[in-house]
Structure 1
Amino acid sequence: MFTITRALAAVVAAGLLTAACGSAPDHMASMPPTTSSAMSMPGMAMTDGLAAESGGYRFEPASTTVSASFRFRIVGPDGRAVTEFEPEQTKLMHFYLVRSDLTGFQHVHPTMAADGTWTAPLSAAEPGSYRAYTQFVVKGTDEVLSQPVTVPGAATTSALAAPAATTEVDGYTLTVGGDKPMAGMTHKLTIAVAKDGQPVTDLQPYLDTYAHLTAFHATDLAFAHLHPQGREGSTLSFEAMLPKPGDWRLFIQFQTGGVLHTGAVTVSAG
């Protein structure tokens, strides 16, 4: 199961898909809060990740039923499967599977066959409604496309965890700090990693960075990027843009001792 040194992207009023890709190894100064209209830069798709088609590219799953080997294609403007992609965080494709109640999250890196068919290796998932996201770069433009999918079986849902400042995963404590998020503005967000009450000293690079951070809106699963700004010891800094007010579920991935850990916490944007 379970940052992007690429340029800071803008968000249109409807909302941005944020896949917050962790913190770059070198320290970088953070920027003051900025309105979304001032953040627009070329090369980044201006979407919330909820469309199956954007910029002439279409996400076509072989099936909307989730299996252990989920296959799909990205079809281009010419109607053919795209086979040429550019690396993003060392990978040609990032695939996310997110449960509708935000209790399930998988982030994997599919492999592509010569004909442009991708295969995403997924772990067993609880029955229910999900959304599958593909994140990729083609011809210099970042795209995030998604489709609703289903894991068959009798499903139950859970209420979203209330906003909190800390969360626990695999014996680690993650503490969220920084400015209070305000919808439509960029703010500094920090995540401190500790174990047994002490800051960790063994964070390892993951996808060439020290963490990967992804946020999904509680009501519609809009996907947003929290951009890396640096690392000071065990504290990771991000530029957080949450374009819609309300609750967002953050999924934080970091690595120690060769093991990838995934924590989750809810934050609220005013």
Structure 2
Amino acid sequence: MPGMSGALGLPDVPANARGLSAERDGYRLDPKDTDLPAGRAVGYPFTVTGPDGAPVTDFAVHQTKKLHFYAIRSDLTGFQHLHPAMAADGTWTADLAALTPGDWRLYTSFVPDTGPRKGSELVLSRTVTVPGAAAALPLPAPVGSTTVDGYTVTLRSEPMAGAHRLTATVTRDGGPVTDLQPYLDSYAHLSAFHEGDQALAHLHPTDTVDGDHGGPTLTFQALLGEAGNWRLFLQFQTAGQLHTAELTLNVT
């Protein structure tokens, strides 16, 4: 990082396996509302319809939650990672923070606990347009480190066969941070969005969780199936506070 070169043997991952489709293997993301307002918090109700045409209500716990919800604007700004609640009829409601005008992609990640895809993760998404004058922001250039809430996150990437080993090191005031707390049953959560098509990759570090003693180094195995820029959002927790570090990674 910031750039990588050489033939990496990047896999050809179909669109419906990269979170870019509203339907996959008979499962479909069905929103209750198609319009979202700008400038204020709003609930986004939706269901996941199964192959039998009925709302799915039986979900396995995956990374401590039954469903993960992501929102990102087309310029890869405004990242939100939420964990909605589900009503008895299968309706989920994601409580979104205020959205700026523009085109947004909304993702759901879940594991059915019954049916033909039982035990397999699925990622579905739809796009919505938030009304108003939209000004696209340029993607920040790839850099090796960033600072958030006083913590510095340094990211290194090592290409592997069809994948990458990402190593994040967390420091504060020049010293190593060793008090990371478990977040979603690991010491960090990494969401990556591809510039252009907004393909999603999300993963946790391979490090073993042992109480509030995570860090300073976290290792991820990342399947990034497309060349180009990826916007990375690394979430980690200390003293009960969640921090989100943002970096751009270039894959060639």
Same fold (TM over 0.5): yes
Aligned residue in 2 for 1:88: 62
Aligned residue in 2 for 1:237: 219
Does the Cα contact within 8 Å between 1:62 and 1:72 map onto a contact in 2?
Answer: yes
Identify which of 41, 52, 68 aligns with 2:22. Answer: 52
Aligned residue in 2 for 1:143: 122
Which amino acid is the alignment partner of residue 75 of structure 1? T
Alpha-carbon distance between aligned partners in 1 of 2:22 and 2:85, rounded to the nearest angstrom: 20
Give, in angstroms, the shift of residue 227 of structure 1.
5.0
- Any unmatched runs of 5+ in structure 1? 1-10, 17-45
Alpha-carbon distance between aligned partners in 1 of 2:233 and 2:36, rounded to the nearest angstrom: 21
Alpha-carbon distance between aligned partners in 2 of 1:262 and 1:154, rounded to the nearest angstrom: 27
Post-superposition CA distance 1:65-117 (Å, at most 9, x none): 23611100000111111111001001000000011101110000010001100
Post-superposition CA distance 1:35-81 (Å, at most 9, x none): xxxxxxxxxxx701000000110001112223611100000111111
Aligned residue in 2 for 1:65: 35
Q: Structure 1 residue runs of 4+, over 6 Å off?
A: none
- Any unmatched runs of 5+ in structure 2? 1-9, 113-117, 209-213
Does the Cα contact within 8 Å between 2:71 and 2:107 map onto a contact in 1?
Answer: yes
Aligned residue in 2 for 1:209: 186
Alpha-carbon distance between aligned partners in 1 of 2:200 and 2:109, rounded to the nearest angstrom: 11
Does the Cα contact within 8 Å between 1:86 and 1:92 map onto a contact in 2?
Answer: yes
Count of residue correspondences:
229
Identify which of 161, 186, 199 aligns with 2:176. Answer: 199
Report which stretch shifted further, 129-138 or 236-245: 236-245
Aligned residue in 2 for 1:32: none
Aligned residue in 1 for 2:142: 163
Give, in angstroms, the shift of residue 153 of structure 1.
2.0
Give, in angstroms, the shift of residue 12 of structure 1.
5.3
Question: Pairwise mapping of residues 173-192 of structure 1 onto structure 2 (< 5 A)?
Answer: 173-179=152-158, 181=159, 185-192=162-169
Post-superposition CA distance 1:148-189 (Å, at most 9, x none): 01222221110101111011211111100141x47x712211
Identity of aligned residues (%): 55
Report which stretch shifted further, 187-196 or 227-236: 227-236
Does the Cα contact within 8 Å between 1:191 and 1:236 map onto a contact in 2?
Answer: yes
| 1:15–1:174 Cα change, 3 Å | farther
| 1:233–1:95 Cα change, 3 Å | closer
Alpha-carbon distance between aligned partners in 2 of 1:261 and 1:193, rounded to the nearest angstrom: 11
Which amino acid is the alignment partner of residue 143 of structure 1? L
Alpha-carbon distance between aligned partners in 2 of 1:130 and 1:101, rounded to the nearest angstrom: 9
Give, in angstroms, the shift of residue 201 of structure 1.
2.4
Does the Cα contact within 8 Å between 2:179 and 2:215 map onto a contact in 1?
Answer: no
Give, in angstroms, the shift of residue 15 of structure 1.
5.5
Q: If the length of structure 2 is used for normalisation, what is the TM-score?
A: 0.86
Alpha-carbon distance between aligned partners in 1 of 2:183 and 2:215, rounded to the nearest angstrom: 16
Aligned residue in 1 for 2:5: none
Q: If the length of structure 1 is used for normalisation, what is the TM-score?
A: 0.80
Does the Cα contact within 8 Å between 2:170 and 2:217 map onto a contact in 1?
Answer: yes
Alpha-carbon distance between aligned partners in 1 of 2:14 and 2:224, rounded to the nearest angstrom: 8
Residue 77 in structure 1 maps to residue 15 in structure 2:
no
Residue 254 in structure 1 maps to residue 236 in structure 2:
yes
Post-superposition CA distance 1:203-249 (Å, at most 9, x none): 11001110000111001000123452216731100112211111001
SS of 1:263's equivalent in the other structure is: strand
Aligned residue in 2 for 1:101: 75
Q: Which has the higher contact order (CA 8 A, sep 6+)?
A: 1
Residue 263 in structure 1 maps to residue 245 in structure 2:
yes
Residue 221 in structure 1 maps to residue 191 in structure 2:
no
